[in-house]
Structure 1
Amino acid sequence: MEPDRQAYDRGQTIFSPDGRLYQVEYAREAVSRGSPSVGVRTAEGPVLAARRPLRSPLIEPESVAKIHEIDDHAAVAAAGHAADARRLVEVGREAATGHRIRYDEPIGTDALARAVADHVQEHTQTGGSRPYGTALLVAGTDGGLFEVDPGGTVAGWRAGAIGADAGEVRSVLAEGLEDEPGTLDRGIELALGALAREDSLEPEEVAVATPDAGEPATFSRLSSAEIDRFTPAS
């Protein structure tokens, strides 16, 4: 049976006898080893926050991209393989641009998440490719917050987390999220508190993006000084 197990293990297009796709499960494991990202939906729009993996004090923090702009009104936070995330960001940008050209309006967050998820899902059933080893939290100024996982599944969240210790991070979010936060400031506090848990956070270790107050609203990133106001103390 060993050669059979290896076949199920190596081919993402082959189901195991118990209905599993091992390569997709390995891709999810890659996500669980990435630094965590968090999304919190508020009455003023969704907040995205992510820990940046700074492997050396010589690294320029801003060069470690964990949050990416898709369009003026949409952004994503990633966990897992950074190169895979970069490719999915391009897929999302192509979908957003195509929607604007075709319909002369911004793509909805739900439609954007599903367009990226459709591309991800194709790589779970196509020979000669592999699943993406990354997950995304897709947020929009329309209030949407969705997760796209390596299997191509889409789920909407009031508050979600991907990456290392995602279950524990979600538990912290659940404890502090009795109702939808009314302000972005409260959403930022919840997101950073969940990322920190029992640790301290330095502003340069975190990236945060929120909708601004413009018309139409667009996503903007907080500066280190702005993040410092919300960073939990040790």
Structure 2
Amino acid sequence: MSSIGTGYDLSVSTYSPDGRVFQVEYAGKAVDNSGTVIGLRVKDGVVLAVEKLVQSKLLVPGSNRRIQSADLHVGLATAGLLADGRHIINRARDEAQSWRDTYRQPIPGKVTQCPLIFSFVTRTRLLSVRWFAQSYNLPPPLCQYVSAYTLYSSVRPFGTSTIIGAYDADGPHLYLIEPSGVYWVSMN
């Protein structure tokens, strides 16, 4: 009896004969096996909610929070592996603080043009083509960071999906970043 990956699931840089990357699929299964996360964009703001699964009676109530803030106007909710979610949240805080230090204003929450980010591997080298957003904001740097963890064999993909809710002068914004680095924008 053999496993599903049969040698093709040892690295994120290894494609199966049918073009699948099993490590990214396993990261998606970690998200599927965790609690539900909901993000709602309403007229006056964004609502984030998580289903708190109690793994053990020994856990302190209020620990293992899966909703955090990256800035005063940006909140993140994660589904999947808790440690990976914390890592993404810390990276979002670093991005927001870097923007605030550089430009002396909060990081904007709106995407004016969605970036197209894709990479593919030939037998000899990695080829990447990237078009970036016209206005800098939080989701593109985070999805590029998450996507980078699906390209190299020395790291594993993040086993978490992250919902980002932001509110600024343009109104509420809602994004979802998947373990593969693909992100979705909530539109009107």
**For this structure pair, what is the TM-score category when the shorter chain's length is used for normalisation?**
0.7 to 0.9
Match of 2:162 in 1: 136
Give the 3-state SS of the residue equivalent to 1:144 in structure 2: strand
Task: In structure 1, give the amino acid aligned to 2:147.
Answer: Q
The more displaced of 122-131 and 9-18 is 9-18
> CA offsets per residue over residues 178-206 of structure 1, 9 Å max, x none?
xx8xxxxxxxxxxxxxxxxxxxxxxxxxx
Counterpart-to-counterpart distance in 1, 2:149 and 2:59: 33
Larger helix fraction of residues = 1
TM-score when normalising by structure 2 = 0.77
Shift of 1:57: 4.5
Give the 3-state SS of the residue equivalent to 1:15 in structure 2: coil
| Contact kept? 2:74, 2:166, Cα under 8 Å | yes
Match of 2:128 in 1: none
- CA RMSD in angstroms comes to 1.9
> CA offsets per residue over residues 3-46 of structure 1, 9 Å max, x none?
xx533221101222222111001100000001111000001011
Instruction: Give unpaired runs (5+ residues) of structure 2.
Output: 112-136
| Contact kept? 2:64, 2:82, Cα under 8 Å | no
Task: In structure 1, give the amino acid aligned to 2:44.
Answer: E
Give the 3-state SS of the residue equivalent to 2:17 in structure 1: coil
Q: Does 1:147 align with 2:176?
A: yes
| Contact kept? 1:147, 1:154, Cα under 8 Å | yes
Task: In structure 2, give the amino acid aligned to 1:55.
Answer: Q
Give identity over the alignment, percent: 32
Match of 1:117 in 2: 143
> CA offsets per residue over residues 131-155 of structure 1, 9 Å max, x none?
0001100001131100001000010
| Contact kept? 2:30, 2:159, Cα under 8 Å | yes
Match of 1:75 in 2: 75
Give the 3-state SS of the residue equivalent to 1:117 in structure 2: helix
Match of 2:129 in 1: none
- Equivalent positions of 1:91-106 (< 5 A) are 91-106=91-106
Larger strand fraction of residues = 2
| Contact kept? 1:53, 1:64, Cα under 8 Å | no
> CA offsets per residue over residues 162-193 of structure 1, 9 Å max, x none?
xxxxxxxxxxxxxxxxxx8xxxxxxxxxxxxx
Q: Does 1:41 align with 2:41?
A: yes
Counterpart-to-counterpart distance in 2, 1:58 and 1:26: 28
TM-score when normalising by structure 1 = 0.63
Aligned residues: 157
Shift of 1:127: 2.0
The one of 138, 141, 153 equivalent to 1:127 is: 153
Counterpart-to-counterpart distance in 1, 2:73 and 2:104: 14
Match of 1:203 in 2: none
| Contact kept? 1:39, 1:137, Cα under 8 Å | yes
Distance 1:58 1:9, change over 3 A: closer
Task: In structure 2, give the amino acid aligned to 1:157.
Answer: S
Q: Does 1:157 align with 2:183?
A: no
The more displaced of 32-41 and 5-14 is 5-14
